[in-house]
A and B are shown apart, each in its own frame.
Chain A
Amino acid sequence: MSDPNTRQPILAARDLRKAYGRVVAMDGADFDLYPGEILGVIGDNGAGKSSMIAALAGAVRPDSGEIWLGGEQVRFANPMEARAKGIETVFQTLAMAPALTIVDNLFLGREYRKPGFRGRWLRALDRTRMRAEARKHLSELGLATIQNIDQVVETLSGGQRQGVAVARACAFGSRVIILDEPTAALGVKESRKVLDLILDVRRRGISVVLISHNMPHVFEIADRVHIHRLGRRIAQVRPDQISMSDAVAIMTGAMAPPTE
């Protein structure tokens, strides 16, 4: 495999396999993400994109294969372990509790407690600190128009929710953010905003993995694209060197992948 990029990948996987009964979801899938890039992952339904992403995020344990993070082999038992190593995932469902506030959701599962007696013995939450940090993270991503961070999430628009989910992923000093179909549920205008948001995230030096069915979105913002088919990666392409229709042809098997 000869990648023009000679740098070391920040996140890589080799020969991932996963079968659910007789259904093979991953059949030797490879993956390489380089620092500071946006990597698009495309593939037809059942190509094993979601399983691979779930494996990288710690949500699914592969039957076999290796995952390397920053040159060190890792094995994640659950999403929390992946998160502790700096891999944040924005799932398609966003994993936010709609009846809780923006602040509650941003810090769900990793709340700050007050220092001293009240935090240690009375388990009191440090709400002032969480509010301040929430406000900071939202305005860093240009989401300052969300005025009231004590608003419950279900009162936000789809794009705003996606924005809050991305802000949560960015907030915890992560190195890699995986976005699963971030624009699937959004209209044209809101998709635009979310794509800008992703470009913003890259500007901050975070590597981004973008899984999407929407070819124009992937080709617009991705630096490189992995094409998956039948449980494995069959091609790595640069969006500026291949046409969208060729990519679709490779993805569906109508065209042979370019020889590397």
Chain B
Amino acid sequence: MSSDDTPHFSEHAGFGRRVINFLHGNPTIIPFLVLIIGLAIFSLIVGKRFFHPFNLSLVLQQVTVIGMLALAQTLIILTAGIDLSVGAIMVLSSVAMGQMALTLGLPPEIALLAGIAVGGACGALNGLLITWLRLPPFIVTLGTWSIFNAFVQFWSRGQTIRQQEIAAEAAILQWTGTALQFGAWRLTLGSVLMLGLAALLWYMLNRTAYGRHIYAVGNDPEAARLSGISTQRVLFSVYLLAGVICGLAGWVLIGRIGAVSPLGGGSANLDSITAVVIGGTSLFGGRGSIIGTLIGALIVGFFRNGLALAGLDVLWQEFSIGCLIIMAVGFDQWLRRISN
């Protein structure tokens, strides 16, 4: 076609515009830079100890449980939702596993699967309330957070199931705590599970139609609907899937602490949101990535660890995490504003 009879849309992209376009296409780049710069600064302040395999392994173990929840939270935030009940679902699942194996005397493998199913059921309840009754996710999961916590107290009677009991009767529940030793490196099976799940979710979000639909539903539900996507079905399935992941997180939690405690998930809800947001996923939906969330979880882990090793009081850990959250959300807002 000649240039005379066809419309041409020329691109006048200046340097600033190109940088913005690049940031749009690669939302993980900022969290990645924060992580690298953070690591560089901490290694300067703390010295060799910081990069010692022992320390790095420790940080990975510390972020594993929150990392699992943050994976579930990522899926939900990508749909422009939020799940305040992830921590409660995780604890309820772990209590379900422990109680079914030790109090009800079910075979441990069955108890494990049933515990994950409890997580799935909790997620399905959230999804049902959000899609069927069309209630806002914030309110629904605030409500179910309380309800699931009540179930935890009811079922566990406030009692912890001790490590030795589990080891004796249902060792499979502690399987995720098994450590693989590579020289000074220590990798728990829980961390392996978390990283494997992250790879799986990455594939799902980026290489399947369902994954693209999750982004579309979060970014512009009306556009998704007009494109033939059943938005309600996508939303429900995302909450269900998040519930199952929280169930798995319950298993990882038992491996991490050894016991089944009704008190395990206190700040986990907000920590998972923190990791997702610092990882560059937008609370307005449709923007973000699994890799960003992993980086976000690592940033939180390394900041806590680095500041502690530097000898600073715990309050500065909280302070710095708070600053990171506000900067991450501020950056996201700015990027959205200039693109309109």
Minimal Cβ-Cβ distance residue in A for B339: A154
- Tell me which residues from 19 to 68 in chain A have a Cβ below 8 Å from any Cβ of chain B: 59
**Taking A99-B215, A100-B216 as contacts, is the C-beta distance between A200 and B7 under 8 angstroms?**
yes
**Taking A108-B229, A152-B25 as contacts, is the C-beta distance between A96 and B207 under 8 angstroms?**
no
Chain A 127-142, CB-CB to B under 8 Å as 1, else 0, gives 1000000000001011
Answer yes or no: B267 CB below 8 A from chain A CBs: no
Answer yes or no: B220 CB below 8 A from chain A CBs: yes
Nearest CB on A from B17, distance (A): 8
Minimal Cβ-Cβ distance residue in B for A127: B207
Answer yes or no: A237 CB below 8 A from chain B CBs: no
Minimal Cβ-Cβ distance residue in B for A113: B209
A196: B residues at CB distance < 8 A: 5-7
Answer yes or no: A71 CB below 8 A from chain B CBs: no
Contact B224 A97 (CB under 8 A): yes
Answer yes or no: B222 CB below 8 A from chain A CBs: yes
Answer yes or no: B20 CB below 8 A from chain A CBs: yes
Answer yes or no: A75 CB below 8 A from chain B CBs: no
Answer yes or no: B212 CB below 8 A from chain A CBs: yes
Contact B222 A93 (CB under 8 A): yes
Contact B229 A145 (CB under 8 A): no
Contact B9 A145 (CB under 8 A): yes
Answer yes or no: A146 CB below 8 A from chain B CBs: yes
Answer yes or no: B54 CB below 8 A from chain A CBs: no
Counting chain B residues whose Cβ lies within 8 A of the other chain, the interface size class is 35 or more
A151–B216 alpha-carbon span in the complex (Å): 15
Contact B226 A59 (CB under 8 A): yes
A96–B229 alpha-carbon span in the complex (Å): 12
A197–B10 alpha-carbon span in the complex (Å): 14
**Taking A95-B226, A108-B227 as contacts, is the C-beta distance between A155 and B287 under 8 angstroms?**
no
A97–B219 alpha-carbon span in the complex (Å): 6
Nearest CB on A from B282, distance (A): 8
Nearest CB on B from A123, distance (A): 4
Contact B8 A99 (CB under 8 A): no
Q: Which of A80, A93, A150, A193 contacts B25 (CB under 8 A)?
A: A150
A141: B residues at CB distance < 8 A: 6-7
- Tell me which residues from 222 to 257 in chain B have a Cβ below 8 Å from any Cβ of chain A: 222-224, 226-229
B331: A residues at CB distance < 8 A: none
**Taking A83-B228, A95-B223 as contacts, is the C-beta distance between A200 and B6 under 8 angstroms?**
yes
**Taking A154-B339, A160-B9 as contacts, is the C-beta distance between A104 and B226 under 8 angstroms?**
no
Counting chain A residues whose Cβ lies within 8 A of the other chain, the interface size class is 35 or more
Answer yes or no: A257 CB below 8 A from chain B CBs: no
Contact A93 B212 (CB under 8 A): no
A192: B residues at CB distance < 8 A: 7
Contact B228 A147 (CB under 8 A): no
A213–B259 alpha-carbon span in the complex (Å): 69
A91–B212 alpha-carbon span in the complex (Å): 21
Contact A143 B9 (CB under 8 A): yes
B25: A residues at CB distance < 8 A: 101, 150-152
A182–B49 alpha-carbon span in the complex (Å): 62
**Taking A79-B226, A100-B212, A104-B212 as contacts, is the C-beta distance between A163 and B7 under 8 angstroms?**
yes
Answer yes or no: A109 CB below 8 A from chain B CBs: yes
- Tell me which residues from 78 to 108 in chain A have a Cβ below 8 Å from any Cβ of chain B: 78-80, 83, 91, 93-101, 104, 108
- Tell me which residues from 1 to 57 in chain B have a Cβ below 8 Å from any Cβ of chain A: 1, 5-11, 17, 20-21, 24-25
Answer yes or no: B108 CB below 8 A from chain A CBs: no
**Taking A145-B11, A159-B9 as contacts, is the C-beta distance between A111 and B1 under 8 angstroms?**
no
A110–B228 alpha-carbon span in the complex (Å): 8
Minimal Cβ-Cβ distance residue in B for A164: B9
**Taking A100-B212, A108-B229, A110-B228 as contacts, is the C-beta distance between A125 and B207 under 8 angstroms?**
yes
Minimal Cβ-Cβ distance residue in B for A190: B9
Answer yes or no: B208 CB below 8 A from chain A CBs: yes
A109: B residues at CB distance < 8 A: 213, 224, 227-229
A-B contact pairs, 18 of them (CB 8 A): A91-B226, A95-B220, A96-B220, A99-B215, A99-B219, A100-B286, A101-B25, A104-B215, A109-B229, A110-B228, A122-B203, A142-B7, A145-B10, A147-B11, A155-B20, A155-B21, A160-B9, A192-B7
Given contacts A141-B7, A152-B25, 4 further A-B contacts (CB under 8 A): A94-B223, A104-B212, A145-B11, A190-B9
Q: Which B residues form the contact surface with A (CB < 8 A)?
A: 1, 5-11, 17, 20-21, 24-25, 203, 207-210, 212-213, 215-216, 219-220, 222-224, 226-229, 286-287, 339-340
Q: Which A residues form the contact surface with B (CB < 8 A)?
A: 59, 78-80, 83, 91, 93-101, 104, 108-111, 113, 122-125, 127, 139, 141-143, 145-147, 150-152, 154-155, 157, 159-160, 163, 190, 192-194, 196-197, 200
